[in-house]
Amino acid sequence: MVEQQELDASGQQRRRQLVRAVIASAVGTSIEWYDFFLYGFAASTLFAELFFPTSDPTTGLLLALGTYFGGFAARPIGAAIFGHYGDRIGRKAALITTLVTMGLATALVGLVPTYQQIGIWGGVLLTALRLLQGISVGGEWGGSVLLATEWGKTRGGKRGFLGSWPQFGVPVGLVLGYVALQIFQPLHPYWGWRIPFLLSLVLAGVGLYIRLGILETPVFAKVVKENRVERVPVKEALVKNWREIVLSALLRTGQQAPFYIFTVFILTYATKTLGFAANDVYTYVIVAGLVSLVTVPFWGYISDLVGRRRLYIVGAALMVVWSFIYWPLLDTRVPALVFLAIVLAAPIHDIQYGPQATFIAESFTGRLRYSGASLGYQLASVTAGGPAPLIAVWLYATYESSFAIAVYMAICAAISVVAAWLLKDRSQHDYAIEYDEQQATA
Per the prediction, the chain carries an average pLDDT of 88
Q: Which of 15-19, 31-35, 276-280 has the lowest mean pLDDT?
A: 31-35
Q: Which of 126-135, 253-262, 342-351 has the lowest mean pLDDT?
A: 126-135
Q: What is the pLDDT of residues 381-398, one digit of tens each?
A: 888 988 898 899 899 999
Give residue 58's pLDDT. 66
What's the whole-model pTM score? 0.88
Residues found in the chain:
442
Give residue 168's pLDDT. 93
Q: Which of 55-69, 239-253, 301-315, 403-417 has the lowest mean pLDDT?
A: 55-69
Confidence of residue 147 (pLDDT cuts 50, 70, 90): very high
At CB < 8 A and 24+ separation, what contacts does 213-218 make? 213/20, 213/24, 214/17, 214/20, 214/21, 214/24, 214/92, 214/147, 215/17, 215/92, 216/90, 216/91, 216/92, 217/21, 217/91, 217/146, 217/147, 217/150, 217/151, 218/14, 218/150, 218/151, 218/154, 218/432
Confidence of residue 346 (pLDDT cuts 50, 70, 90): very high
Q: Which of 243, 236, 229, 169 is nearest to 371 (CA)?
A: 236
Q: What is the pLDDT of residues 396-435, one digit of tens each?
A: 999 999 999 999 999 999 999 999 999 998 888 888 888 8
More confident residue, 365 or 42: 365
Give residue 60's pLDDT. 64
Q: What percentage of the chain carries pLDDT values higher than 70? A: 93
Distance (Å) of CA 158 to CA 28, 72, 370: 21, 31, 20
Confidence of residue 1 (pLDDT cuts 50, 70, 90): very low
Distance (Å) of CA 20 to CA 87, 147, 214, 216, 320: 21, 10, 7, 12, 38
Judge contact between 18 and 138, C-beta under 8 A: no
Give residue 126's pLDDT. 84
pLDDT > 90? residue 27: no
